[in-house]
Structure 1
Amino acid sequence: MRTIIEGGFVASVDPVGTEHRAGHVVIDDGVITTVGAGPTAAEQREDAEIIDARGCLVTPGLINTHHHLYQWLTRGYAQDAILFDWLTALYPLWSRIDADLTRAGAAGAMAVLARSGCTTVGDHHYIFPKGSGDIVGAIVESAARVGVRLHATRGSMDLGASQGGLPPDFAVETTDAALRASEASVEQWHDASFGSLVHVAIAPCSPFSVTADLLREAAMLARSLDVRLHTHASETVEEDAYCAERFGKTPTQYLEDLGWLGDDVWMAHCVHLDERAIERYAATGTGVAHCPSSNGRLAAGIAPVRDLLRAGVPVGLGVDGAASNESGQLGIEIREAVLMNRLRTGADSFSVRDGLRVATMGGARVLGRDAEIGSLEPGKLADIAVWRVDGVEHAGILDPVAALGLGAMPPLHRLLVGGRAIVVDGELATAEEPIIADEVAAASRELAARL
């Protein structure tokens, strides 16, 4: 029941950024017990599994704070569209989704996330066609199959096109139905215990697909159930214009008036926040999921991450839906975050260690689990990525953290979730990748045929 990772460059991402050029991590029963320099003591090594990490970078497992797993089945569509046009093109297809198709898509998406260093997956599913089955349950099943930690959200839309919303009427639920189903998902799947593999949050989709009544009631429901809240906010200039025209407010003002700022809330994107909005996020502890590749793919802009961090706002990293980020890999988002934020605010404004912290401890703060995951410290869960940096792509690099934050994404030697090996030498160890790939291809064809 003891595992020792030894000999690698250990980037702990603890509060003071402790690093060991040749260090060790000791794991007992899925929990980190020791992190230090040099080899472990002889008495610790007895009967332990030793993972030789020489030539490797050892980091906390990466935390994905925003995704739409079902979109793994709809990659490559509307390739040159901005957000609103992209959504309009894809809503008719997504409205044919069901639990079986979602199960396949989620497994594919999470397999790729795991292979890119991700140990905790945040998902935002908000389309629930009539008769589609237990979609949240299907996502939970796929997470267990791959072996990752899941933060599922039960999303919803109740503002169809006939009421001035963006989605077609056939893709939305009634307000009452969405609230009942959200409560049922929390009661069935949410586990708040230490080390839990499944958390559930409540997540109406966005200001342009949800009524004020649903936003207000969902916030009250989540707080009565003691779970977190999630939605999209300030993603595009078009969203700003929509909120100004329809509500006479910015997205931040509108959401705050409905009870949607707080340390139990995190928002996706937040590209177009003004100084006042950043102040309100900081004052209330509202978190942000930064999704650089998706924001680039949809030409939404570059989020003001440096300003958010300087203000004290919790910021995590997100892949976003695979239909707006066809890679689906979380590891490469560290490099994307570093490069994009330097484009916005300068070469010295966002370091590779800033990128790693956002991808780990930042995400843990955003999801409210910073006491459990996000850093390599005694007492925390053994969610750990061991990256090879001695191959042809990175051999000789001065700084192993720069291999992850500026170079090509390193291959994984190991990925552990609660001490369990999920990826071994770059391959998924918990399920057969070719089988998952075949299931994804079949499900994609089936969904396209339904349209």
Structure 2
Amino acid sequence: MAKKLIRNASILTMNDRYDVVEGDVLIDGNRIAAIGPDLPAGGVDRVIDAGGKVLLPGFVQTHIHLCQTLFRGRADDLALIDWLRKRIWPLEAAHSEDSVYYSALLGIGELIRSGTTTILDMETVHHTESAFQAIASSGLRAISGKVMMDHGTEVPPPLQENTQKSLQESVDLLEKWNGAANGRIQYAFCPRFVVSCTEELLVGVRDLSAQYGVRVHTHASENRDEIALVEAERGMRNVVYLDHIGLAKPNLILAHSIWLDDDEKRIIKERGVKVTHCPGSNLKLASGIAEVPDLLDRGIPVGIGADGAPCNNNLDMYQEMRLTAFIQKVQHGPTVMDARTVLRMATMGGAEVLGLEREIGSVEVGKLADLQLLDLEDFHVYPSYDADLFSRVVYAATRGDVDTVLIDGEVVMSGKRVLTIDRTHVLKEADRSLKKLLARIG
């Protein structure tokens, strides 16, 4: 297996001690074999000069919709339920294999360019295999699954599923793709949210996820109108209902979780449920501001995700980190959500949400080599003298500073150029496939 040596980096390890190390990282195959100064280069196939650069773990984004990247700029200035019913669901209903594939590649290119190496992704009802094919070819690490919808009003017919067919299609995808691409791809059951799912479907997801040992990813308590719909139909709030039917378990990952009461927070903590915070999306849709400091104080794992391109409109973790910090400071004072806390959420915190903390999220010997190199030699991140690296990365750096990205030990971006995706081709095909999609809507 090929060996690579990254030389002379300033390494933000993101280990338990937040160690900053000046030196080298040896990669043997897809794992980190050694960290330290002046590591020997014998037997190394490639040396990457990182002089003057900062090495840190690749970002772990815990809520993404690759299938929606094609809809960037087509669902602006709406609240959640209208956003879904008037714009997103009709667009998703018109997807083809081709449009899902290029939507995914478009999103993946943006993610890699901005230092993200792992995502938790939720696709649409159909053509999920096209997204898996894009993930596999691009080199990205992803947990993903088809969205599940067998209930609700104002849902376009192509998105209205038969319950048993939805469950069976999910199992079929799981059995084909879970563990594919050298383990980079894992499957998750993705019921959209309670509003879109019958209890029969959710109970089926509960049982199948336990049978196969995979995660469940759903939206919950993102919007007060959504909560009112759930209470009217199920007689209880989102998290209480999910607990009532036995879905609130350590394999459950909830997107957003803005409007939680104390009882729901208690359930999340006691059941080991994980949460993903999406500040850009939550602000743009005017959904609210999640009580992240309180969740962290309670010991609840919280990651960060950009959500989808039509509700953000970027998939940029550097932007999301700044928002994660700043919106809480306004409410709770300047000392909350410091740079180390936020960078941990974007790396090790995200890995913990996904149950991958032993494999990714920090630069440590034995872990998978999912890494990013930042070039901070520029006006907006200087001065560097006696500067705090955590502050420079979280508060000053941008996605344009990402120079090199490795995933699973492979260089997928070098010199700010993504190597696994043909940018010109994807941009052209994204426009072509969107034109065809819009024509299908009429």
- Residues 157 and 209 of structure 1 are in contact (CA less than 8 Å); yes or no, is this contact kept in structure 2? yes
Note the 1:235-254 alignment, pairs <5 A.
Answer: 235-254=222-241
Is 2:356 the counterpart of 1:382? no
- Give the aligned partner of residue 173 of structure 2: 185
CA distance in 1, matches of 2:155, 2:35: 50
Is 2:328 the counterpart of 1:341? yes
- Give the aligned partner of residue 255 of structure 1: 242
CA distance in 2, matches of 1:155, 1:219: 15
- Residues 334 and 404 of structure 1 are in contact (CA less than 8 Å); yes or no, is this contact kept in structure 2? no
- Give the aligned partner of residue 131 of structure 1: none
- Give the aligned partner of residue 5 of structure 1: 6
Is 2:196 the counterpart of 1:204? no
Note the 1:87-166 alignment, pairs <5 A.
Answer: 87-90=84-87, 91-128=89-126, 135-161=127-153
Is 2:304 the counterpart of 1:314? no
CA distance in 2, matches of 1:331, 1:188: 34
Note the 1:218-367 alignment, pairs <5 A.
Answer: 218-367=205-354
In the TM superposition, what is the alpha-carbon distance from 1:6 to its structure 2 partner?
A: 2.5
- Residues 270 and 303 of structure 1 are in contact (CA less than 8 Å); yes or no, is this contact kept in structure 2? yes
Q: 1:170 to 1:49 in 2, by over 3 A?
A: closer
Q: Percent identity?
A: 31
- Give the aligned partner of residue 59 of structure 1: 56
- Give the aligned partner of residue 155 of structure 2: 167
- Give the aligned partner of residue 34 of structure 1: 34
- Give the aligned partner of residue 24 of structure 1: 24
CA distance in 2, matches of 1:57, 1:301: 34
- Residues 110 and 121 of structure 1 are in contact (CA less than 8 Å); yes or no, is this contact kept in structure 2? no
In the TM superposition, what is the alpha-carbon distance from 1:48 to its structure 2 partner?
A: 4.9
SS at match of 1:66: strand
- Residues 415 and 421 of structure 1 are in contact (CA less than 8 Å); yes or no, is this contact kept in structure 2? yes
TM value normalised by structure 2: 0.95
Unaligned 5+ residue runs, structure 2? none
For residues 4-47 of structure 1, give each alpha carbon's deviation from its aligned partner in whole angstroms, at most 9, with x where no partner exists: 22322211111221112x232221112111223xx323x34553
Give the stretch that moved more between structures: 46-55 or 108-117: 46-55
For residues 39-60 of structure 1, give each alpha carbon's deviation from its aligned partner in whole angstroms, at most 9, with x where no partner exists: 323x345535222222222111
CA distance in 2, matches of 1:26, 1:50: 9
- Residues 126 and 203 of structure 1 are in contact (CA less than 8 Å); yes or no, is this contact kept in structure 2? no
Unaligned 5+ residue runs, structure 1? 129-134
In the TM superposition, what is the alpha-carbon distance from 1:86 to its structure 2 partner?
A: 0.6
For residues 353-398 of structure 1, give each alpha carbon's deviation from its aligned partner in whole angstroms, at most 9, with x where no partner exists: 1111111111111111111111111110000011111122213242
- Residues 159 and 209 of structure 1 are in contact (CA less than 8 Å); yes or no, is this contact kept in structure 2? yes
CA distance in 1, matches of 2:340, 2:45: 31
Alignment RMSD: 1.7
- Give the aligned partner of residue 398 of structure 2: 409
CA distance in 1, matches of 2:357, 2:20: 19
- Residues 8 and 53 of structure 1 are in contact (CA less than 8 Å); yes or no, is this contact kept in structure 2? yes
In the TM superposition, what is the alpha-carbon distance from 1:115 to its structure 2 partner?
A: 0.3
For residues 152-174 of structure 1, give each alpha carbon's deviation from its aligned partner in whole angstroms, at most 9, with x where no partner exists: 1222100031xxxx524442101
SS at match of 2:132: helix
SS at match of 2:380: coil
CA distance in 1, matches of 2:222, 2:369: 34
In the TM superposition, what is the alpha-carbon distance from 1:319 to its structure 2 partner?
A: 1.2
- Residues 92 and 124 of structure 2 are in contact (CA less than 8 Å); yes or no, is this contact kept in structure 1? no
- Residues 118 and 331 of structure 1 are in contact (CA less than 8 Å); yes or no, is this contact kept in structure 2? no
CA distance in 1, matches of 2:107, 2:425: 13
TM value normalised by structure 1: 0.93
In the TM superposition, what is the alpha-carbon distance from 1:258 to its structure 2 partner?
A: 1.5
Give the stretch that moved more between structures: 371-380 or 336-345: 336-345
- Residues 160 and 168 of structure 1 are in contact (CA less than 8 Å); yes or no, is this contact kept in structure 2? no
- Residues 63 and 374 of structure 1 are in contact (CA less than 8 Å); yes or no, is this contact kept in structure 2? yes
CA distance in 2, matches of 1:178, 1:275: 33
CA distance in 2, matches of 1:318, 1:31: 25
- Residues 156 and 172 of structure 1 are in contact (CA less than 8 Å); yes or no, is this contact kept in structure 2? no
SS at match of 1:151: strand
Aligned-partner residue type, residue 177 of structure 1: K
- Give the aligned partner of residue 421 of structure 1: 411
CA distance in 1, matches of 2:235, 2:82: 23
CA distance in 1, matches of 2:382, 2:8: 16
- Give the aligned partner of residue 443 of structure 1: 433
In the TM superposition, what is the alpha-carbon distance from 1:192 to its structure 2 partner?
A: 8.2
